[in-house]
Amino acid sequence: MNKNLKLFLIYLKIGAFTFGGGFAMIPLIEREIVENNKWMEPEEFNDSLAICQSVPGAIAVNNAVFIGYRINGVMGAVAASLGVIIPSFLIIMAIASVFTQIKDINKIDPIFNGIRAAVVALILTAGLKLFTKGIFNLFIIAITFVGISYFQLNPIIVIIMAVAFGILKNKSEGI
């Protein structure tokens, strides 16, 4: 089978059946790429994860671009990323197209309100998972939170500020 088509189909399957975002997909991708197709050594695959997490963007899409590019250049990257995107793209469009009609049914309001309350818990949980201790970390968490929530600063500016603080900290400690 053509490599591009194969990449597309592998990532299509992964995109269609993986719930819970990027990290849940990694073991499945590894099995396809490293074990089933032997396109990559395990070490190389692990190294790729460092890059996928260090640049902006969704981990699943970054991973598709990285692996696709390594295996078959730009066309491979396009094939793999299209594969991983298309399932959620179609599902979300289908939901968006009926969304307004559903929302106008009054009876559904309490259900939506219940779910919205749950979303707060889901987001807090994600924050908790990334939390690391230390005075510097607490300081950055605090200024980021206050900067965005209270002073309504643009998140991009806050991120740049936090990175600058981190660089200053490392400089002052002579690392």
Partner 1 sequence: MTILDLFLSFFKIGSFSFGGGYCMLPMIESEIITKNQWITTDTFIDIIATSQMTPGPVAVNSATFVGYQIAGVLGSAVNTFGVILVPAVLVMILSKYVDKFKNSKLLEDIFTGLRPALVGLILAAAFSVGKTAIFNIQTLGISIVIFIIINRFKTHPILAIVFSGVLGAVIL
- Determine which residue in the list 37, 77, 98, 105 makes contact with partner 1, applying CB under 8 A: 77
Closer by beta carbon to partner 1, 1 or else 119? 119
Residues 6+ apart with CB under 8 A from 130: none
- Report the C-alpha gap between 45 and 30 in whole angstroms: 7
Q: Is 51 in the site for partner 1 (CB under 8 A)?
A: yes
Q: Is 174 in the site for partner 1 (CB under 8 A)?
A: no
Closer by beta carbon to partner 1, 37 or else 61? 61
Residue 18 Cβ vs partner 1, minimum distance, rounded to whole Å = 5
Helix or strand run (H / E) with residue 21: none
Closer by beta carbon to partner 1, 4 or else 62? 62
Q: Is 85 in the site for partner 1 (CB under 8 A)?
A: yes
Q: Give the count of beta carbons closer than 10 Å to the beta carbon of residue 119.
A: 9
Q: Is 3 in the site for partner 1 (CB under 8 A)?
A: no
CA-nearest of 11, 125, 9, 126 to 60 is 11
Say if residues 8 and 86 touch (Cβ distance below 8 Å).
no
- Report the C-alpha gap between 116 and 106 in whole angstroms: 16
Residue 7 Cβ vs partner 1, minimum distance, rounded to whole Å = 14
Residue 35 Cβ vs partner 1, minimum distance, rounded to whole Å = 21
Say if residues 87 and 15 touch (Cβ distance below 8 Å).
yes
- Determine which residue in the list 50, 101, 105, 106 makes contact with partner 1, applying CB under 8 A: 50
| Binding residues for partner 1 restricted to 103-132, rule: CB under 8 A | 103, 109-128, 130-132
